[in-house]
Amino acid sequence: MQIDTKIIAHRGSRGTRPENTLISFKTAIDEGAEGIETDVHFSKDKRFIIMHDETVDRTTNGTGLIMDKPLAEIKQLDAGIKFSEEFKGTRVPTLEEVVEMLIKINFTGIFNLELKTNKIHYPGLERAVYEYFAGRHYPFQLIYSSFNGKSLEILNRIDPQAYKARIFRTAAKQAKTLKRSKVIEDFHPDIRWVKKHPFYAAARHLRPWLVNSTEDMQYCFERNMAAIITDYPGRAVQVRAEMRGGLI
């Protein structure tokens, strides 16, 4: 079976490693993922912090908002202990550290960077991220995404050539408006919404999340969607190989 669907690891191999850490991203790539997805915030001293939540509470041994903490304080937190004792001492990475790792291993897949501005709109984050990437060479395909359409519009004004996607759970009309306005190229919808609205967009423009069950993986692979975003990239690689007839 012809399947071109790429596998993007959601916060790395989140199902098997502490999310949004270097070991999580490296594991996902080693398992065969063609892409990794992650999230970026601003610290108090305007450093790029890789974490999903606006607070450090859920994934580290600390408490409080990222925006209230300088990088030095965040670097003292343990980002692995809550996942498993095995990963005690794992640190919260910066965007720079993730990119350096990807460059070091010559990662040529997709790097999907979500701007986490839907709850806290960090002023200047869009331009700061743009300027960081504009100043360096990297081997991967950079895709920006966000739940916040305004962030994507800001980024589009700064760099119309940037590859952008709108994430949504149910806000499909707003996403379509951004597409018609040429602000975004693709859609990153909730898989549950996709299954209820199978004719929303061409498969080549869809990268649904969170595609974790074998059934949902098969659903996306059968339709040859652009990519899936999953917590279990290793499992997805196996399912896709089986559907391809054993060909990785």
The residues annotated as belonging to the active site are 10, 52
Q: Which residues contact 148 (CB under 8 A, 6 or more apart)?
A: 115, 117, 118, 121
Q: Indicate the DSSP class of residue 55.
A: B
CA diameter of the chain: 51
| 187 strand-pairing partners | 166, 206
